[in-house]
């Protein structure tokens, strides 16, 4: 049996529910994890998703900001969520599906100034990473079958950005962010499921700014969306794909879906 899981920062699920349905209909992942849903739970378009087979859900949202959701064609046998930095800002949910614990995470963007003394948003981002690292290290075992997905808002590798040199001082690629993301990755010995198939020497992006008039031609992207797995699942990896053409859809999110398939 194979399990295909997708992650996508949708940038408003109600605004783009037709795009979500199109993606699900065309690609049929077993599980879709969304970030930045921007919807209170009572207004989440669950009925539209149930109509196309995604009847099992774990959602956590708020009005206008943040929000995460796990949508599944397969039963969810356990679920929960965590808060960090003393904020109930809907940035994490998890669900157990087919014996695999799936964590959906939305890391704070961090604002524009990469200095925690000058920018409270950047300080929040670093604190969020620190507390996330401590939680996984204390609360989860690296030998447990787990998947972590989401908009982690950090492009860690040199070729995860269009210009390593120019972006070293730009939030999402600064050394301190990359260091702390690396610590989160080490907390459960997470394995990068997408880079498993694409060498670190190759350019790879999942986000292109709305500010670029022709995002495709300029190709100034960043790989902000990630799928990590724990070591017990590594031998089961079959494929990974970043759905770049979705960025060209009408009313597109600035992020595109990322999928991984495992033979489980």
Which domain range does residue 25 map to? Answer: 2-263
Q: Would you say 149 and 107 are in contact if contact means Cβ atoms under 8 Å apart?
A: no
- pLDDT above 70 as % of the chain: 100
pTM, whole model, 2 decimals? 0.97
Q: For residue 169, is pLDDT > 90?
A: yes
214: left (phi over 0), alpha (psi -120 to 50) or beta: beta
Q: What is the pLDDT of residue 213?
A: 87
Mean pLDDT, the chain, rounded, equals 98
* Ranges assigned E (strand) in 26-145: 31-35, 56-60, 68-72, 78-80, 92-97, 100-106
Token match 């730009």: residue?
170
What's the rounded Cα separation, in Å, for the pair 261 and 29? 9
Query: What pLDDT band is residue 145 in, cutting at 50, 70 and 90?
Result: very high
- Structurally, the chain folds into a number of domains equal to 1
Residue-wise pLDDT tens digits, 79-123: 999 999 999 999 999 999 999 999 999 999 999 999 999 999 999
3-class SS of residue 244: helix
Q: What's the rounded mean pLDDT across residues 61-88? A: 97
Q: What's the rounded mean pLDDT across residues 134-153? A: 98
Tokens at 147, concatenated: 């998947």
Q: What is the pLDDT of residue 84?
A: 97
How is 174-221 classified by DSSP, letter by letter?
-HHHHHHHHHHHHHTT-EETTTTTS-TTS---SEE-TT-TTHHHH--E
Order of all β-strands in the sheet with 146-151 = 78-80, 92-97, 100-106, 146-151, 225-229, 191-192
What's the rounded Cα separation, in Å, for the pair 110 and 125? 5
Q: What is the pLDDT of residue 1?
A: 86
| CATH number of the structural domain spanning residue 24 | 3.60.10.10
Order of all β-strands in the sheet with 237-242 = 56-60, 68-72, 31-35, 2-9, 258-263, 237-242
Q: Would you say 224 and 154 are in contact if contact means Cβ atoms under 8 Å apart?
A: yes
């Amino acid at each position: 049996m194979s399990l295909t899981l997708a992650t996508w920062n949708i940038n408003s699920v109600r605004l783009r529910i037709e795009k979500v349905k199109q993606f699900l209909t065309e690609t049929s992942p077993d599980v879709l994890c969304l970030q930045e849903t921007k919807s209170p739970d009572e207004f989440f378009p669950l009925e539209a998703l149930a109509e196309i087979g995604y009847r099992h859900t774990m959602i956590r949202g708020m009005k206008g900001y943040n929000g995460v959701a796990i949508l599944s064609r397969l039963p969810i046998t356990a679920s929960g969520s965590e808060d960090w930095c003393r904020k109930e800002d809907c940035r994490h949910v998890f669900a157990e599906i087919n014996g695999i614990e799936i964590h959906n995470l939305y890391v704070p963007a961090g604002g524009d100034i990469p200095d925690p003394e000058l920018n409270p948003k950047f300080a929040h981002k670093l604190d969020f990473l620190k507390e996330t690292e401590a939680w996984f290290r204390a609360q989860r075992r690296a030998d447990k079958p787990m998947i972590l997905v989401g908009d982690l808002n950090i492009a860690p590798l040199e070729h995860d950005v269009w210009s390593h040199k120019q972006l070293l001082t730009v939030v999402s690629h600064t050394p301190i962010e990359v260091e702390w993301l690396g610590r989160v990755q080490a907390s459960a010995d997470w394995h990068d499921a997408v880079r498993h198939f694409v060498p670190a020497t190759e350019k790879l992006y999942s986000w292109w700014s709305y500010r670029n008039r022709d995002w495709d031609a300029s190709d100034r992207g960043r790989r902000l969306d990630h799928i990590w797995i724990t070591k017990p699942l590594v031998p089961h990896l079959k494929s990974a794909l970043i759905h770049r053409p979705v960025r060209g859809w009408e009313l597109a999110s600035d992020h595109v879906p990322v999928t991984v398939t495992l033979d489980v």
